[in-house]
Amino acid sequence: MSHYFTYDPNQKSRKRLIKFNIFDKEIELETDSGVFSNKEIDRGTYIFIKALLEMNLYGKVLDLGCGYGPVGISLKLILKDKIDLTCSDVNPKCVELTSRNLRQYDLNGKCSLSDGYLLLDGKFDFIVFNPPISVGKEKIYSLYEDSKKHLNENGKLYLVIRKDKGALSHMEYLKTLFSSVDVKHKEKGYFVIECL
């Protein structure tokens, strides 16, 4: 069975356009079969984007596990030159879609094919991550550890996790890595978590 975080070259392509509004700005992105939430933006991602735009993001921002790019592209469209955007994903189809979606808006941003941080260089001021809960805690927790190592001093990791998908246990683990772990926003069962 194919998952959105694995690449299946035999999977039939079903490209489509999805639209959503963020702060009165309509955003239209291309998606395809084999990527997360390819028929419409999922509620958690939408809540995450809105919450992130209330934070003071600047400098080098990594959208880890970017999918087709809704989080990173929304941030770049609204924050513009305030952020230097890198998007990464383990799925080549996601990297290709994000690259195309950035180009259609004439946005500068780097897209990297990488399993976690294996092929990512440097450190970031902010890392934003909607973890793929279905890969299991062992993999996600290792990504949290690597995220900590790839943050600049005073850099922050932001996550969105549903409470009923283990948000509280994830927070307990994150407290072993970060000095401060706080819920910055709650909406419809989703927690937006800040780690510093």
pLDDT in tens, 100-127: 999 999 999 999 999 999 999 899 999 9
Tell me the C-alpha distance between 29 and 55, whole Å.
23
* Domain 16-195 CATH class label: alpha beta
What digits encode the pLDDT tens for the residues 134-175?
Answer: 899 999 999 999 999 999 999 999 999 999 999 999 999 999
Place of tokens 């550890």: 145
DSSP 8-state secondary structure symbol assigned to residue 34: T
pTM value surpassing 0.75: yes
Domain residues of the chain, as ranges? 16-195
β-partners of residue 61 are 85, 126
Look at strands 124-129 and 151-162 and give their pairing.
parallel
Query: Which contiguous run of DSSP H or E holds residue 98?
Result: helix 92-104
